[in-house]
């Protein structure tokens, strides 16, 4: 595994395992600087969303980087308020990004209109506006309902995942159905980076707690999406390809699970 390692989605499209998260980087100049720093550090996968308010910053950073568009994997998401017209929502996102396609378009959250919207995403996919389509924050129940009506199996389910929220049943279900799991908030949104058990374990590898958490996701076969606005941390979070967490220590980390949710809890979403 290395920084630009990819895995194939269920439609054959390759996705880099390491992605750069951009939530809560609303200022477009700050976002542009952070994405440029990520691209300079070697990330080739950027995760944004209409609701993050930074698609234009992501697009301009990609253009300024000089890296060919097709070498960068770009994800954006359909926000909850835009299910009345997903076609227009994607067109608006593409205009803000300054792109004519995205690599992955996700339903951001399992709102009640999700299945009807999925059929529209399938049409957008067949028209080449999004190379892959997927979902986010879907539980097994939401996925099962979607699979009943889907012509295209979602390529991805992007959910909160880290050792403190180790959603094994969801990972198993997705794996059986050919849906790749992406880990968002892999650094627990900062909430557990000072956990003394994590700090001690990381020190044994000469790595930071954040690096250990990113590496744990990669060794679980997950796509991982750490975010930072700081250049030093952006590089640090990607410097995880020169060590391997032993299987005994992976089990120790698995044991940290406490069903901690730092973001959404979609469990009761109807």
Ligand X SMILES: NC(=O)c1ccc[n+]([C@@H]2O[C@H](COP(=O)([O-])OP(=O)(O)OC[C@H]3O[C@@H](n4cnc5c(N)ncnc54)[C@H](OP(=O)(O)O)[C@@H]3O)[C@@H](O)[C@H]2O)c1
Which residues have a catalytic role annotated?
52
| In the complex, least distance from residue 159 CB atom to ligand X, rounded to whole angstroms | 8
The residue among 111 and 225 lying less far from ligand X, judged by its C-beta, is 225
7 CB contacts (<8 Å, ≥6 apart)? 14, 15, 17, 180, 221, 223
What number of residues does the chain have? 270
Within 48-107, which residues bind ligand X (CB under 6 A)? Answer: none
DSSP H/E element including 179: none
Among 43, 227, 238, 256, binds ligand X (CB under 6 A): 227
| In the complex, least distance from residue 24 CB atom to ligand X, rounded to whole angstroms | 6
The residue among 81 and 126 lying less far from ligand X, judged by its C-beta, is 81
| 31 CB burial (10 A radius; 0-12, 13-18, 19+) | buried
| Contact (CB, 8 A) for 78 and 106 | yes
Q: Which residue lies nearest ligand X, judged by its C-beta?
A: 21
The residue among 126 and 225 lying less far from ligand X, judged by its C-beta, is 225
| In the complex, least distance from residue 183 CB atom to ligand X, rounded to whole angstroms | 8
Contacting range for ligand X; rule: CB under 6 A; set: 15-23, 125-133, 141-149, 248-256: 15-23
Distances (CA, A) of 173 to 47, 138, 160, 186: 23, 11, 16, 20
Instruction: Tally Cβ neighbours within 10 Å of residue 32.
Output: 22
Among 44, 125, 189, 207, binds ligand X (CB under 6 A): 189
Contacting range for ligand X; rule: CB under 6 A; set: 64-72, 90-98, 224-232, 239-247: 224-232
Among 158, 167, 173, 179, binds ligand X (CB under 6 A): 158
Residue 193 in the binding site for ligand X (CB under 6 A): yes
Distances (CA, A) of 106 to 27, 41, 125, 134: 23, 26, 11, 5
CA–CA separation, 200 and 50 (whole Å): 38
Footprint of ligand X (CB under 6 A): 21-23, 47, 108, 136-137, 158, 184-190, 193, 208, 210, 225-230, 233, 236-237, 263-264
């Amino acid at each position: 595994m290395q920084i630009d390692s990819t895995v194939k989605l269920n439609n054959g499209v390759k996705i880099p395992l390491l992605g750069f998260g951009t939530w809560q980087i609303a200022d477009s100049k700050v976002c542009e600087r952070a994405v440029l720093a990520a691209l300079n550090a070697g990330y080739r996968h950027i995760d944004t969303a209409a609701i993050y308010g930074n698609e234009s910053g992501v697009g301009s950073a990609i253009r300024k980087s000089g890296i060919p568009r097709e070498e960068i994997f770009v994800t954006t998401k359909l926000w909850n308020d835009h299910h009345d017209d997903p076609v227009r929502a994607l067109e608006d996102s593409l205009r803000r990004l300054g792109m004519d396609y995205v690599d992955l378009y996700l339903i951001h959250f399992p709102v009640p209109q999700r299945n009807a919207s999925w059929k529209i995403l399938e049409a957008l996919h067949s028209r080449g506006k999004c190379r892959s389509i997927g979902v986010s924050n879907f539980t097994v129940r939401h996925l099962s309902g979607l699979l009943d009506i889907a012509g295209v199996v979602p390529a991805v389910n992007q959910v909160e995942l880290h050792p403190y929220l180790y959603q094994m049943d969801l990972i198993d279900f997705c794996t059986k159905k050919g849906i790749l799991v992406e880990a968002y908030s892999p650094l627990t949104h900062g909430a557990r980076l000072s956990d003394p058990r994590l700090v001690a374990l990381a020190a044994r590898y000469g790595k930071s707690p954040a690096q250990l958490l990113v590496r744990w996701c990669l060794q679980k076969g997950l796509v991982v999406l750490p975010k930072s606005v700081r250049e030093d941390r952006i590089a640090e979070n990607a410097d995880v390809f020169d060590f391997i967490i032993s299987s005994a220590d992976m089990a120790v980390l698995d044991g940290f699970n406490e069903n901690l949710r730092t973001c959404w809890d979609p469990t009761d979403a109807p």
